[in-house]
Copies of this chain bind each other. A is one copy, B any other.
C-alpha cells in the first residue's frame, strides 16, 4: 500500500521500518520538526514535509503516530483525503477521527518501542478498530502484513489493554529501577538480578502469573518481610510500597 506516515517518534520509526520491510511504500513522512521528518524520510526512502497543508493526497492509508494531544488537530488538516486515516494510540477513542474522515480506524501495536532496541513486528499483537467495512478490510490487510496476530479491539477494550500494559511494562520497569537502586546502595551490580528478571518474564510466557507467584508475601513469611522492611526503613515511601504490594499478594 501507499502510506503517509505522520510523526517521527519511536512508534513512527519502528512502524515505518516494519511497513517498508513488509513491502509497503511510505510515500511521505510528516513531522512538525523538519529535521526529524527528514531523518525518518531518508531512512524510509520517502518524501518529506513539515507542512500539514502539503501532505500527499493520494495515499491508501494515513498513519498518525503522534502525541495523543496532537491527534485531533492533525486529523483536522487531513479532511478530504481519500485514504483511511488511522491513529496508533492506546488510550484515545477512535471517535477522535470521526469528524475529519469517512474511513478511519486504529492500529495499535501492543509493544513498547525505544530508540535503543529493534523489535520483531511479526510477533506483536495488533489491535485493530475500524469505522466500517472499507476501513476494516484495508487495516486488516495492513496489520496482517506486519504481524501474525491481528485482532479486533474496540476503544474501551483498547484503553483497558493500555492500562494493563502500563502495569506489565512501565510499572514493571520502575520495579526494576527500584531493585537497581537497592543494589547500588549496597555496592552490588544490577547484573546480579538480570537473569532473575528474564526468568520471571519467561515464566509467564507459558503460565498465568498467579500460578507462579513466589516470594515471602505469598508464603506469608513475616520474618523475611520484616527484615526487608528494616532494610528499607530509611525510605518510608519505598517501605510503604513494599507493604502495599506484599499485602495484595498475601
Residues of A within 8 A of B (CB): 68-69, 90-91, 110-114, 116-117, 119, 123-125, 127, 151, 153, 156-157, 159-180, 182-183, 185-188, 190-218, 221, 223-224, 227-228, 231-232, 237, 240-242, 244-245, 248-249
Contact = CB atoms under 8 A, between A and B. Distances in A.
B228 A163 contact: yes
Given A69-B223, A170-B213, A177-B210, 9 more contacts: A125-B192, A160-B185, A163-B182, A163-B231, A166-B215, A167-B176, A172-B197, A173-B200, A198-B201
Given A175-B171, A198-B202, A204-B194, A212 B160 contact: no
Contacts of A244: 240-241, 244
Contacts of A205: 194, 197-198
Contacts of A177: 208-210, 213
Contacts of A228: 91, 159, 162-163, 166
Contacts of A153: 188
Nearest to A224: B91
A177 B91 CA distance: 21
Contact of A203 (B117, B196, B245): B117
Task: Give the residue among A176, A178, A207 with the most B Cβ atoms within 10 A.
Answer: A176
A200 B168 contact: yes
Contacts of A186: 156-157, 160-161
A36 B124 CA distance: 42
Contacts of A172: 172, 175-176, 197, 200-201
B111 A199 contact: yes
A114 to B, nearest CB: 5
A195 B241 contact: no
A237 B76 CA distance: 39
Contacts of A183: 160-161, 164
4 shortest interchain CB distances as A-B pairs: A170-B215, A201-B201, A176-B209, A177-B209
A209 to B, nearest CB: 4
